[in-house]
Amino acid sequence: MENPYQTGDISRATVEFGSLPAADEIVQGLTRTKPWVSLLAVCGFLLSGLCLLALGGSILIISQLINSENGVSSVASPFFTALFSLASSTGSLFLSIKLWRYRTALARADASNPSTILEAIERQRSFWKSLGILALLGGVFLTLLLLLALFSAPITPK
Amino acid sequence: MENPYQSSIHGGAPPPPSVGGGVTIATVQGLAATKPWIRFCAILGFILGGLMVLFGLLMMVSMAFISMSGKTGAQETGVMAGVGAVYLLMSALYLIPSFRLWKYGSAILSLMMSGSVTDLDRAMEHHRSFWKFVGILMILGTVVSVLMILGGFVTATSAIKTTP
């Protein structure tokens, strides 16, 4: 007897899908992306390191400007550069770690062990979620920075 | 007799993995849970790409108007128009992967609806295509950056040498 209270097509389709021997397709499809995912994760780690270097440089410039004749008034630009570098480095490192974990899960994915496939998919979801949230936060941060720059711009007399 | 009041697939706990390496409902549910974030990231990419197109076009059009008024030289106009064109090109770097990501999300939706292996293959192909494109872009970006650094270094060195 069929379930009269069963939900729409999606549920029925997934029930049918449950019996398909498609684990090999999923594992093949996922593992083919592994070299690219590895490359991007490594590039992310390198980017994070470069941003840290930029942060160090900005801090050095700030310390020199404070000690110079110009004083504290001239540190606004390197201060924002330092802030941006710190945010970029942290975000890049966080995403690279997530991507590397996904890569590790891909390396472990095995068609005969469905839990490894599920883990890889879960890691993928986690990466995209983190990227989405960080992109949103980055957008808000940049908008605030833009507004701050607009409102703090000196008004030139006519 | 089957239980007519059995809870829906999405509401209940995932069933045990099917025998012989078959795909479980949990696998499709996992991909389905990824879909909203994939769509969200794709939309952000579209917005960013769209803004770049807008900015590039605005730059080119405004420079065309300024040059017609005769307030700037031909060289300045050319440079600004070039920057506008670079923005248009850069927008493609956002729009193409976003489009591939969107296709991946759509393929997951089709997979959820049909449950066919063809849709699964399509989803995996779009997934691979996205990562490949971004990977190639990253390699190209790195090569261009290294070349620019080397070019800058060579220019600076030659400038120092020619300075009396």
Q: Mean pLDDT lowest for which of A52-56, B66-70, B79-83?
A: B66-70
Average pLDDT over every residue of A47-71: 84
Predicted local confidence at residue A6, as pLDDT: 42
Window 87-116 of B, Cβ < 8 Å to A? 111-116
Please judge whether A23 and B113 are an interchain contact, meaning their C-beta atoms are less than 8 angstroms apart.
Answer: no
**pLDDT by residue (tens digit) across A6-39?**
443 444 444 344 444 567 778 888 888 999 999 9
- Nearest chain A alpha carbon to B9: A11
Q: Which has more confidence, A1 or B104?
A: B104
Q: What is the pLDDT of residue B96?
A: 93
Q: Which of residues 101-140 of A touch B (CB under 8 A)?
A: 111-112, 114-115, 117-118, 121-122, 124-125, 128-129, 131-132, 135-136, 139
Nearest CB among B8, B20, B26 relative to A6 is that of: B8
- Rounded to the nearest integer, the mean pLDDT of chain B is 80
pTM of structure: 0.75
Write out pLDDT tens, residues B100-121.
Answer: 999 999 999 988 888 777 888 8
- Predicted confidence at residue A69, as pLDDT, reads 67
Task: Determine the Cα–Cα distance for residues A135 and B44; give it in Å rounded to an integer.
Answer: 8
Count the helices and strands in chain A (H runs, E runs).
Answer: 5, 0
Q: What ipTM describes this predicted complex?
A: 0.73
Q: What is the DSSP string of chain B?
A: ---TTPPPTTTSPPPPPPTTSPPPHHHHHHHHHHHHHHHHHHHHHHHHHHHHHHHHHHHHHHHHHHHHHT-S-HHHHHHHHHHHHHHHHHHHHHHHHHHHHHHHHHHHHHHHHH--HHHHHHHHHHHHHHHHHHHHHHHHHHHHHHHHHHHHHHHHHHHHHH--
Which position has the higher pLDDT, B35 or B29? B35
Answer whether A136 sits within 8 Å of B27, measured CB to CB: no
Cα A70 to Cα A90: distance, rounded to the nearest angstrom: 31
Instruction: Point out the least confidently predicted range of B18-27, B77-86, B112-121.
Output: B18-27
Query: Phi and psi (nearest 5°) for B70?
Result: 80, 20
Yes or no, beta carbons of A14 and B112 under 8 Å apart? yes
User: Rounded to the nearest 10 degrees, how much is the dihedral formed by the CA atoms of A98, A100, A105, A109?
Assistant: 140
Q: Specify the pLDDT at position B97.
A: 93
- State whether residue A10 sits within 8 Å of chain B by CB: yes
Which residues lie below 8 Å from residue A90, measured CB to CB, with a gap of 6+? A48
**Quick check: B124 contacting A, CB < 8 Å?**
yes
Nearest CA distance, B100 vs chain A (angstrom): 14
DSSP state of A113: B
- Residue B34 and residue A125: Cβ atoms within 8 Å? yes
From B8, B27, B139, residue closest to A117, measured CB to CB: B27
Range B28-56 burial, b when 16+ CB lie within 10 A, else e: bbbbbbbbebbbbbbebbbebbeebbebb
Percentage of chain B beyond pLDDT 90 is 27
pLDDT at B20 over 80: no
Mean pLDDT computed over B67-91: 80
